[in-house]
């Protein structure tokens, strides 16, 4: 039984990887084959849907996390007379880890589930077969625009998440924790390096790829009508969150081994 589950898991990961490679193939072909075009309008509409519309909720969650970190770190640091070092810890934690991670988890529920449900509904309504009957590849017309949009959107939203969380920590530090603006910003600049920002942004791009490709795969594999769409949506959220966390661990391990942490 355990072996069968392992085989099923490997097959599932392999199928998602093949879909990712297929999508990458269309992107590469569009760069050197004039006849292969990726719809820009489709990408822009997906960016608006996935990225622009999620800015509010991501900002809200990131701001709350920034406030929580500042409040929780202040008392133990104050015991050592280092309360102004809140900026050091918040800056590193947000830029390296929490900024892109918060954005990815929010987008999993906000956009990932929506993508899976949309494509799954198209499968149930036999719209995928209609595309194939007109010699239109579903991966090119459905998967690629959503993957590109997710990568671009999550990369940008990771930056927004970083800014909002740090700004929230700064605001509450000045208002409630009696940490001067100059001290907060000085410690932040001394602690945070460009590599911290770049590692976080790179994570955001990969997280966007994972969320989109998992959502598209589950949507394309829908069976069983409306119930199947619900199962695909639930599976997308669970699998995306797990994949993002595991990927974050892998990134952190690699960066640690390279001395980038």
Which pLDDT tens digit goes with each residue over 150-201? 999 999 999 999 999 999 999 998 888 888 899 899 989 888 888 889 998 9
Q: Is residue 21 part of a domain?
A: no
Q: What pLDDT sits at residue 258?
A: 81
Helix (H, G, I), strand (E, B) or coil at 163: helix
193 within a domain of the structure (yes/no): yes
Which range of residues forms the domain containing residue 247? Answer: 39-257
pLDDT in tens, 61-90: 999 999 999 999 888 888 888 888 888 899
238/160 Cα distance (integer angstroms): 25
Rounded to whole angstroms, the Cα distance separating 71 from 176 reads 9
Examine residue 28 and state whether it is found in any structural domain, yes or no.
no
Report the number of distinct structural domains present in the chain. Answer: 1
Query: Of 158, 168, 184, which Cα lies nearest the Cα of 64?
Result: 168
Contacts (Cβ under 8 Å, ≥6 apart) of 47: 149, 152, 153
**Which pair of tokens denotes residue 37?**
């075009």
Please report, rounded to a whole number, the percentage of residues in the chain having pLDDT higher than 90.
35
pTM of the model: 0.91
Structure tokens at 117: 């449900």
The dihedral built from the CA positions of residue 142, 144, 150 and 156, taken in this order, carries a sign that is: negative
Query: Is residue 1 one of the residues assigned to a domain?
Result: no
What token pair was written down for 232? Answer: 């695909």
Domain membership flag for residue 67: yes
pLDDT digits (tens, 9 = 90+) for 40-53: 888 899 999 888 88
Instruction: Please report whether residue 4 resides in a domain.
Output: no
């Amino acid at each position: 039984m355990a072996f069968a589950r392992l085989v099923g898991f490997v097959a599932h990961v392999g199928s998602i990887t093949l879909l990712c490679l297929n999508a990458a193939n269309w992107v590469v072909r569009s760069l050197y084959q004039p006849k292969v075009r990726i719809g820009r309008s489709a990408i822009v509409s997906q960016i608006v849907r996935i990225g622009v519309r999620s800015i509010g909720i991501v900002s809200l969650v990131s701001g709350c996390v920034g406030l929580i970190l500042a409040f929780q770190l202040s008392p133990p640091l104050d015991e050592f007379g280092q309360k102004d070092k809140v900026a050091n810890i918040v800056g590193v934690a947000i830029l390296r880890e929490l900024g892109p991670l918060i954005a990815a988890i929010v987008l999993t529920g906000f956009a990932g589930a929506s993508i899976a449900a949309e494509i799954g509904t198209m499968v149930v309504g036999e719209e995928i077969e209609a595309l194939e009957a007109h010699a239109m590849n579903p991966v090119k017309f459905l998967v690629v625009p959503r993957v590109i949009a997710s990568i671009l959107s999550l990369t940008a939203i990771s930056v927004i998440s970083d800014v909002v969380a740090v700004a929230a920590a700064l605001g509450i530090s000045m208002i409630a924790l009696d940490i001067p603006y100059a001290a907060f910003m000085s410690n932040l600049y001394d602690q945070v390096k460009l590599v911290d920002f770049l590692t976080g942004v790179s994570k955001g791009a990969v997280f966007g790829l994972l969320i989109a490709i998992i959502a598209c795969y589950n949507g394309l594999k829908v069976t069983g009508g409306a119930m199947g769409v619900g199962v695909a949506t639930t599976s997308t959220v669970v699998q995306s969150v797990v994949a993002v966390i595991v990927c974050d661990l892998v990134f952190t391990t690699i960066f640690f081994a390279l001395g980038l942490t």
